Structure 1
């Protein structure tokens, strides 16, 4: 099976439905929504998700929002990867990270799933963890149950702060595609 090295896929993790729309766990969905709104992309419903295609900086990019619940998102992502014959080095998963301060960002390839059920599902279905993770910090609650915290809504001020972060990511995303991670991270500080 030959690889299609010309396409890159950016997947935003989240849970479908209005109930989860602005929750901390849906920061990946929120990022994809920001990108598609800025580029005025239309979607196709495919692979049990919403698929958007764009040419950014002369790169062919697929944006994807799985419509499975996050714990099962690996199934639709795996179908997408196999259909387009995408090398995992061109897969970027945007997800929430409770161990990072709010609006902090880290990028890494491979590694553990840190207890993130979306990543666990992806690892299981791809039989690999060798893909890029764009981890967006949502902070950790001072007290309380973590599951309640990650499913709580962002405040309006937090949404505004995320919008600023998303714009910086959008302007510098090309650096990720060429694995210039240090340049990318320095540009979005």
Structure 2
């Protein structure tokens, strides 16, 4: 039987070394949601920090899990699939929040399914869930310069920290990302896309 819970996943890498990096914007957005809805995290089988709670909007209340995989980015799917299977949460009730280099810093795009866009965390989730058909909140972190070795540049970029101007804007951006995840849950994808994709 399918669960009544939603699963909202923020992607990132565990440990102090990665805190504040572009790749961890998913973790930070889920932390924003946890603060907003008073959710506490506990360990799920060594694979994820998982918190259970409810959120309410416009007279509706939904039950949800907030999830931060502890498997490192490239194996995120292992954690997501484990939580999904354990609590019987289908793919169409999963929202994944992640960094996206194809979008300028501060831009948000919402979608369901489609390509991974080369994002290793998304590739892993597609593989372990056996479907790409879950919701995604793509949060723009901008792109590394195109000079030199593209692969090294990309790694250094996503594992680098936001600049001073971006750090000032970050609280507002994280709040927007949290709003976008909530909007998918409460308003449906089409309405949420209307609200966020054109910004």
Shared fold (TM-score greater than 0.5)? Answer: yes
> Aligned with 1:153: secondary structure?
coil
Name the structure 2 match of 1:177. Answer: 185
Name the structure 2 match of 1:40. Answer: 38
Q: CA RMSD in A?
A: 1.8
Name the structure 1 match of 2:136. Answer: 133
Determine the C-alpha separation between the residues in 2 that align with 1:143 and 1:180: 37
Does 1:160 find its partner at 2:163? Answer: no
CA displacement 1:60-96 (0-9 Å, x = unmatched):
0110001011001111111100011111110000001
TM-score by length of 1: 0.91
CA distance change for structure 1 residues 65 and 152 in 2, over 3 Å: closer, same or farther? Answer: same
Determine the C-alpha separation between the residues in 1 that align with 2:51 and 2:39: 6
Determine the C-alpha separation between the residues in 2 that align with 1:33 and 1:3: 26
Determine the C-alpha separation between the residues in 2 that align with 1:161 and 1:63: 24
Unpaired runs of at least 5, structure 2: 148-152
Q: How does 1:1-189 map to 2 (within 5 A)?
A: 2-4=1-3, 6-47=4-45, 48-57=47-56, 58-144=61-147, 145-171=153-179, 173-178=181-186, 180-188=188-196, 189=199
TM-score by length of 2: 0.86
CA distance change for structure 1 residues 162 and 181 in 2, over 3 Å: closer, same or farther? Answer: farther
Determine the C-alpha separation between the residues in 1 that align with 2:23 and 2:50: 20
Relative to structure 2, which stretch is displaced further, 22-31 or 163-172?
163-172
CA displacement 1:102-151 (0-9 Å, x = unmatched):
11011111011111110111111111111111100000123451111111
> Aligned with 1:167: secondary structure?
helix
Aligned positions, number: 187
